[in-house]
Structure 1
Amino acid sequence: MLSIGEFSKICKVSTKTLRYYDEIGLITPDEINPENGYRFYSISQLKKMLLINRLKSFHFSLEEIKATLEMEEDQSEEKLYSALTRKKREIQERLNAFEYTLNQISYDILNLKKGKSIMSHLDYLEVQLVETQPMNLLYIRQMMSSDDYAAGYGKYFSRLYEKIAAEMLTLLGTPMTIYHSPEYNPAGNDTEFAIPIEEIIKGTRDLPGSLCAKTVLKGSYSELTSVYAKLWEWAENEGYELVKSPYEVYMTDPYQANVPEDFITEVYFPVKKKQQAKHHLPKLTSNGRHTK
């Protein structure tokens, strides 16, 4: 048996962390002396602790590690393979995002050296005024926190595609997200995930056609904020106002595109022309007095 200090030294994990792991049920001492509370670990637990350390180095959360360790022995290798494959994909996505960020920083540095504004990319976003056609949407509407979005997009669109496949529905377009909240709230935003289909069934709704200001983003979703700013600026300059919830249509599947630069997203602002305020001049009567 190994004392908690010896176990800590071998595995390079503090005794405070080991006590916390015991509290959450991640790894518990094989023996605790009832008289003095001293904790002892068996030699066989070294392998388990090394696996925990290894998974932590792969950026697994403690919850993910605990779920992995709780697998049945006959399924553990298969589940571990799936977990590692999934984590590898997540890390690759982060690497792609970091690579895109590095490229963007390099691009901005180059622009600054040339005397250009760091926000000059907004000048290249083209806005069109288009009439959209009505769509029948299969949808899921949820309150989404800022932390939910990354996982939420895949989760809810997957559910919609599963329903389409199970009920053999006719796909008429690519996934889209409609943002219904009047303002941004980190705690939760009213978000609708939708896919256009032909059949009118339970879980579908009509999206009427409308006049829209439209622009196309070719690049990372992180640039969508710039697109929205551009659309608001265009609407203000051209005398239009937003009348319905804006939405995004994802023309490329992020799981099929190799790098963020390949993402193509259409952004729509349903708008109408602002009414011009009418200024009535007072009329003069025959005696020269003003009338109302």
Structure 2
Amino acid sequence: MLSIGEFSKICEVSTKTLRYYDEIGLIHPDEINPENGYRYYSIKQLKRMLLINRLKSYHFPLDEIKTILELEDNPSEEKLYSALNRKRKEIQDRRNAFEYTLQQMSADILNLEKGISMMSYLDSIEVQLVETQPMTILYTRQMMSSEDYVEGYGKYFGRLYAKIATDKLTLLGTPMTIYHSPEYNPNGNDTEFAIPIEEAVKGTRDMSGELCAMSVIKGAYPELTSVYAKLREWVENEGYALVKSPYEVYLTDPNQATVPEDIVTEVYFPVKKK
């Protein structure tokens, strides 16, 4: 048996943390002396603690680690395999985001060295006035927090595509997202996921054709805020007013894009002349 101090030293986990892990049911002492309350861990618990440390190093939250540990005796370890693959993709996405940010910073530094404004890239965003065509969209509408967006896009579009396949509906366009909230709220925004189809069935609605200020962006989604700012400025300067919620049309699948520059998105602002 190992005292809590010995166990702590071997696994490089503080005794305070071990007590907290006991409270939340992550790992319990093998024995507790009823007379003095001293905690003892068995040698076999070292393996469990090492697994906890390993999963923590992979940035799993403690509640997920607890779920995984409850499954560790599963011979197939299918759910552990799935969890690791999911976390690996999440970390890869974060790494790609950091790499993209570093590229942006390098470009900004180079421009400043040349005496070029850091925000000069806004001048390269083009705005067009277009007339869209009426369409029928298969849709689902959800309140989405900022943390939900990454998973939500794939989940809700996936459900729509599954219905299209199951009901043998006719696909007429690429996915789109319509933002109905009047302001941004990190705790939840009224978001509609939609795909244009030919048939009018349950779960569809008509979307009228209208005059729109439109811009196309090639690049990562964080750049969309710049496009929104440019479109809003253009609408104001050209004497138009917004009449409906803005929406985005995804011309490429981000999961198929090898680099951020391959992602192509159209942003539409429905407008009318003041």
TM-score normalised to structure 1 length? 0.90
Residues 23-62 of structure 1 aligned to structure 2 (within 5 Å):
23-62=23-62
Aligned to 2:235: 235
Report if aligned partners of 1:100, 1:261 keep a CA contact under 8 Å in 2. no
Q: How many residues align?
A: 274
Shift of 1:72: 6.1
Shift of 1:135: 1.6
Shift of 1:198: 1.8
**Partners of 1:99 and 1:72 in 2: how far apart?**
34
Aligned to 2:191: 191
Aligned to 2:218: 218
Shift of 1:75: 4.5
- Deviations along 1:260-285, one digit per CA (max 9) or x if unpaired, are 221111000000001xxxxxxxxxxx
What runs of 5+ residues in structure 1 fail to find an aligned partner? 275-292
Shift of 1:151: 2.0
Shift of 1:107: 0.7
Please report the RMSD computed on the Cα atoms of aligned residues, expressed in angstroms. 1.3
What SS does structure 2 have at the residue aligned with 1:186? coil
- Deviations along 1:95-122, one digit per CA (max 9) or x if unpaired, are 1111111111111111111111111111
Change (3 A) 1:21 1:166: farther
Report if aligned partners of 1:157, 1:193 keep a CA contact under 8 Å in 2. yes
**Partners of 2:204 and 2:235 in 1: how far apart?**
31
Which moves more between the two structures, 157-166 or 38-47? 157-166
Are 1:132 and 2:132 matched, yes or no?
Answer: yes
Are 1:262 and 2:262 matched, yes or no?
Answer: yes
Shift of 1:44: 0.6
| Matched-pair identity in % | 79
What SS does structure 1 have at the residue aligned with 2:217? strand
Residues 155-166 of structure 1 aligned to structure 2 (within 5 Å):
155-166=155-166
Aligned to 1:249: 249
**Partners of 1:167 and 1:110 in 2: how far apart?**
53
- Deviations along 1:138-182, one digit per CA (max 9) or x if unpaired, are 111111122222222222222222222222222211111100011
Report if aligned partners of 2:180, 2:191 keep a CA contact under 8 Å in 1. yes
Residue type of the alignment partner of 1:96: N
Give the ranges of 4+ consecutive aligned residues of structure 1 lying more than 4 Å apart after TM superposition: none
Aligned to 1:290: none
Residue type of the alignment partner of 2:41: Y
What SS does structure 2 have at the residue aligned with 1:74? coil
Which moves more between the two structures, 32-41 or 238-247? 32-41
**Partners of 1:36 and 1:169 in 2: how far apart?**
70
- Deviations along 1:22-66, one digit per CA (max 9) or x if unpaired, are 111111111222222221111111001101111111111112211
**Partners of 1:75 and 1:207 in 2: how far apart?**
51
What SS does structure 2 have at the residue aligned with 1:271? strand
Are 1:172 and 2:172 matched, yes or no?
Answer: yes
Residue type of the alignment partner of 1:148: D
Report if aligned partners of 2:135, 2:196 keep a CA contact under 8 Å in 1. yes
Residue type of the alignment partner of 1:92: Q
Which moves more between the two structures, 16-25 or 213-222? 16-25
Shift of 1:183: 1.2
Report if aligned partners of 1:32, 1:38 keep a CA contact under 8 Å in 2. yes
TM-score normalised to structure 2 length? 0.96
Aligned to 1:283: none
